[in-house]
């Protein structure tokens, strides 16, 4: 498990949080993780993207957008959560999914890119 947080970034992690081995949280802007969130092995969360290095972007870091993972979310092994995504409460991200857009609460998503495969009754 590795957590990178840039000096000016904002990383918030709630209670009863679990992160498995070789998972990475890479925060350059803002990541908010709620309570009772479970993150499987080899998961990546990154709130930025990369661009070619130029005089304007010497670091190679491009756009920043926050990530929000609400309470009770389970993120399966080898998943990728990209910048600008909000994952609604009590949702499940299936193993290997690449989440590129918001996930409604009580939803199971899977695939590349991730799409809704099931609604959970709560």
Q: Say if residue 33's pLDDT is above 70.
A: yes
Q: Say if residue 122's pLDDT is above 70.
A: no
The pTM of this model reads: 0.92
Query: pLDDT value at position 52?
Result: 83
Report how far apart, in Å, the C-alpha atoms of 81 and of each of 54, 101, 110 are. Answer: 26, 9, 12
Residues of the chain by 3-state class (helix, strand, coil), percent to 5: 0, 45, 55
Q: What percent of the chain has pLDDT over 90?
A: 85
Q: Which residues of 1-40 are buried (b: 16+ CB within 10 A; e: fewer)?
A: eeeeeeeebebeeeeeeebeeebbbbbbbbbbbbebbbbb
Catalytic residues: 50
pLDDT, tens digit, 9 for 90 and up, residues 67-118: 999 999 999 999 999 999 999 999 999 999 999 999 999 999 999 999 999 9
Looking at per-residue pLDDT, the higher value among 109 and 63 belongs to 109
């Amino acid at each position: 498990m590795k957590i990178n947080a840039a000096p000016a970034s904002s990383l918030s992690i709630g209670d009863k949080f679990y992160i498995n081995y070789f998972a990475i949280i890479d925060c350059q802007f803002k990541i908010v993780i709620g309570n009772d969130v479970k993150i499987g092995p080899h998961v990546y969360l990154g709130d930025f993207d990369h661009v070619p290095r130029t005089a304007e972007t010497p670091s190679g870091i491009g756009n920043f957008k926050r990530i929000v993972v609400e309470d009770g979310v389970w993120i399966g092994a080898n998943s990728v959560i990209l910048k600008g995504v909000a994952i609604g409460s009590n949702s499940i991200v299936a193993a290997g999914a690449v989440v590129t857009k918001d996930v409604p609460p009580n939803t199971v998503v899977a695939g590349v890119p991730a799409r809704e495969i099931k609604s959970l009754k709560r």
